[in-house]
Structure 1
């Protein structure tokens, strides 16, 4: 008895490898006669994010840590705090002189803008490199990243993006990283002269108290933020940034003070005296990619002989109306089929959505109307991430 002839159809797994673009397009744009909804190859809707989970305090040798999983992409973040004495900062004396020369200018600016709460010395975080993020992909997270290999271009780019976002959002307060010393005012018995310096010169109220001298910064806390991507399945930036947020929310700094006798900064080993960072807001990143159908124009005429649909594709291309889909939280398969990327970082203040960062590169398909829709999707994503982090 003769064997039956081999089937002329391909299984979905082989079709996805041989024709990845056509495979994704077949899910996003099914034939009208099939009555199938437009879904992605992974079963998600265009605006749907992958399941997200977070866990904090997993690393006991750090001041703060977190593990965040977005789908099959997993990021581990650990924050290590180290003291940086001001005596080891070469430009510290210069920065102090500049701050003293601009004291009057800052006072005038604060009087004219009474509602402005920006610390004039917030630039110390950036000037002295107090936040040092480092992202590593050399963990065998994907076949293209071999353990022990030098940092790839993607790892360096992600590290730079995280550092730039930390600086632009001013997430960490500079005052949380300062170690102060209150200089005693010796030989001061005349209370009438309190609030005045030598020679009757006025002294800023925020640097002196009754019976005490000026406050001096003796050291800073430098935060080394190490991120490891242990599993990479697309969209590493959102997972890495969420891990940084969760780790910083978990970070506790020991109580530190200046020991006058030993002329050094001393830290307390009491866990109860450690304090958490008072972060500014909760900026959440949401990434999107743009998938265009024109790259596979005419493919359906070969697989499913429908001349009418082929003419519709050609007519749309001729008129410049590109069929495209904006996909939220792209996985590795979708990232390889798209060129245009959009990253939206939002925060909410008093119930209002604030756009912290809006970045688009790789094309010009997304217009202003679609960007507005992406901001609304990112605002909903903010609510979901906030609930996840609050449960940690």
Structure 2
């Protein structure tokens, strides 16, 4: 009776798969990718396969929501944000601090310039080469009356830490405040686009005699200094309030850039119906014709770019507290002379890299279309001292290239 011999089994492998090693030793795993051995002749690459200055693939789609005045869906890698904008009317009589005489007075300081031509449109270039936007330095209406109301929510299921029924997280509230602050500082939305005006009829001397005493007093109050009737008397009767709702449906790092890009795309898609004040009914009337709706005339295209700084020394965060900054910088400079890199600035950090980044930088840049000049709208840096003036200049150049990419993406959607 013949018996078959069993082949010897190989001993179990002692190595861990990359996914397990990334969870057990996240800092060493990312460092092994960014700083490979010199003998391997491999380039410095991140764990997700991107170069240090490379952003994730970005896509945008507008007009996805049907019951809004403007909407957009923006995806940056595995992070996705949906933004919907709904416009509602706020009557000036419902504003406690509102004064029609003060708001419509052309002598009020820092207020909207009175139109010299009834056919002139807001933001339209004039014949003298200047534009009304240059004279419209007053954006206090938007801030004082809260005409822009952003609200960001991290939806259930966007990340493992968000459970159903939980109250709004501090992270979501912080992102909402950052978006509101950037909307105000960038002056992206013009206050003129949100104003609903009423122009009184220009009455001649014969028509004035037919009016009663009350109407006569109203017209006299609108006369100019020479005693004649003003050629154009306009009053702001209401404002458009834009409720900007952003929902992060998938969170995989860098939510601010995704949320802000979604707000940009949704504002570019927003259309407001033609509205006017009906003096007979004393109410604001809106046109039902879609062809009469107008888009917002936004000021530029401020694009946000976020960066994270990764240190080769895992303890550099607390070591910088006890070691003088000059000593730490001396060690880094000595390593640079030896060709050993100890610090990397990573563009668009994902969720894995955000937990390892010890310093963060957020740059918001815009390009002036007339002369191509680059304007830094916002610069925020926190968490360390790694990024110096030279590296900040490189980050600005990277942000400019990012602006060109986002500009092309929003043009195509």
Q: Which residue of 1 aligns with 2:210?
A: none
The answer (yes or no) to whether the contact 2:104–2:235 under 8 Å persists in 1 is no
The answer (yes or no) to whether the contact 2:106–2:112 under 8 Å persists in 1 is no
Per-residue CA shift, 1:97-132, capped at 9, x if unaligned?
A: 477496267799xxxxx9982424321000000000
The answer on 1:325 being equivalent to 2:344 is yes
| Pair 198,130 (structure 1): closer, same or farther in 2 beyond 3 Å | closer
Q: CA–CA distance in 2 between the matches of 1:265 and 1:375? A: 46
Q: What SS is found at the alignment partner of 1:295? A: coil
The answer (yes or no) to whether the contact 1:139–1:229 under 8 Å persists in 2 is no
One of 89, 92, 97 as aligned partner of 1:86:
92
The answer (yes or no) to whether the contact 2:248–2:259 under 8 Å persists in 1 is yes
Structure 1, unaligned runs of 5 or more: 109-113, 191-195, 298-312
Q: Which residue of 1 aligns with 2:261?
A: 242
The answer on 1:214 being equivalent to 2:238 is no
The answer (yes or no) to whether the contact 2:71–2:265 under 8 Å persists in 1 is yes
The answer on 1:64 being equivalent to 2:70 is yes
One of 312, 315, 336 as aligned partner of 2:355:
336
Q: CA deviation at 1:54?
A: 0.3
Per-residue CA shift, 1:44-96, capped at 9, x if unaligned?
A: 00000000000000000000000000000000000000000001111102x85
One of 383, 386, 392 as aligned partner of 1:365:
386
| Pair 200,20 (structure 1): closer, same or farther in 2 beyond 3 Å | closer
The answer (yes or no) to whether the contact 1:235–1:332 under 8 Å persists in 2 is yes
The answer (yes or no) to whether the contact 1:294–1:317 under 8 Å persists in 2 is no
Q: What SS is found at the alignment partner of 2:314? A: helix
Q: Which residue of 2 aligns with 1:127?
A: 144
Per-residue CA shift, 1:21-45, capped at 9, x if unaligned?
A: 0000000000011111110000000
Q: CA deviation at 1:338?
A: 1.0
One of 159, 167, 173 as aligned partner of 1:156:
173
Q: Which residue of 2 aligns with 1:23?
A: 29
Q: CA–CA distance in 1 between the matches of 2:111 and 2:347? A: 44
Q: CA deviation at 1:3?
A: 3.3
One of 227, 238, 245 as aligned partner of 1:226:
245
Per-residue CA shift, 1:237-289, capped at 9, x if unaligned?
A: 00000000000000000011111111000111111111000000000000000
| Pair 83,105 (structure 1): closer, same or farther in 2 beyond 3 Å | closer
Q: After the TM superposition, which residues 1-392 of structure 1 pair with which residues of structure 2 at under 5 Å, given as runs?
A: 2-93=8-99, 96-97=101-102, 100=105, 103=108, 117-188=134-205, 201=225, 208-209=230-231, 213-295=232-314, 316=331, 323-349=342-368, 350-392=371-413
| Pair 100,320 (structure 1): closer, same or farther in 2 beyond 3 Å | farther
Q: CA–CA distance in 1 between the matches of 2:387 and 2:104? A: 45
Q: CA–CA distance in 1 between the matches of 2:63 and 2:75? A: 15
The answer (yes or no) to whether the contact 1:197–1:203 under 8 Å persists in 2 is no
Q: CA deviation at 1:231?
A: 0.4
Q: CA–CA distance in 1 between the matches of 2:90 and 2:144? A: 13
| Pair 331,264 (structure 1): closer, same or farther in 2 beyond 3 Å | same
Q: CA–CA distance in 1 between the matches of 2:248 and 2:262? A: 10
| Pair 202,145 (structure 1): closer, same or farther in 2 beyond 3 Å | farther
Q: CA–CA distance in 2 between the matches of 1:179 and 1:226? A: 23
Per-residue CA shift, 1:170-220, capped at 9, x if unaligned?
A: 000000000000012334369xxxxx9767616999xx53xxx51000000
Q: CA deviation at 1:7?
A: 1.9
Q: What SS is found at the alignment partner of 1:117? A: helix
- After TM superposition, the score normalised by the length of structure 2 is 0.81
Q: What SS is found at the alignment partner of 2:84? A: strand
- After TM superposition, the score normalised by the length of structure 1 is 0.85
